[in-house]
């Protein structure tokens, strides 16, 4: 299946990517996506091998690493928010 992945703030800058299309097996969890991204090595590993401080949203709603992703979803990874 195909999803869109977005990166924000420090992650976007470090990875040099804002958004990408991504193909992955059905019923993947956000945790599995995170792990696949980490396996790209380099700055990807730096960002995604962390066990803390990686937030995820699925279709513009806050999600958890256990959330299951379906075809066409928009998954976003970002650091803890600091607005206000």
Partner 1 sequence: MKKNIIVTKADFVLDEEIKKLYVDNAGAVVSFVGLVREQASHGKVIAIELEYYPAMTQKALEGIVEQAEQRWPLLGVIVIHRVGYLTVQEQIVLVAVASQHRHAAFAAAEFIMDYLKTQAPFWKKEYIAGQSEGIWVEAKDSDNQALAKWLKN
Among 1, 6, 65, 68, binds partner 1 (CB under 8 A): 6
Among 25, 56, 60, 75, binds partner 1 (CB under 8 A): 60
Ranges assigned E (strand) in the chain: 2-7, 19-23, 55-58, 61-63, 74-78
21 binds partner 1 (CB under 8 A): no
The angle at the Cα of 74, spanning 73 to 77, to the nearest 5 degrees, equals: 135
41 binds partner 1 (CB under 8 A): no
Which CB atom, from 6 or from 36, has the smaller least distance to partner 1?
A: 6
């Amino acid at each position: 299946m195909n999803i869109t992945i977005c990166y924000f703030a420090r992650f976007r800058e470090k990875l040099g990517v804002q958004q990408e299309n991504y193909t992955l097996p059905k019923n993947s969890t956000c945790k599995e996506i995170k792990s696949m991204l980490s396996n790209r090595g380099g700055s990807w590993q730096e960002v995604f091998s962390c066990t803390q401080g990686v937030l995820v949203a699925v279709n513009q709603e806050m999600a958890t690493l256990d959330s299951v992703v379906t075809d066409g979803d928009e998954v976003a990874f970002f650091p803890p928010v600091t607005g206000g």
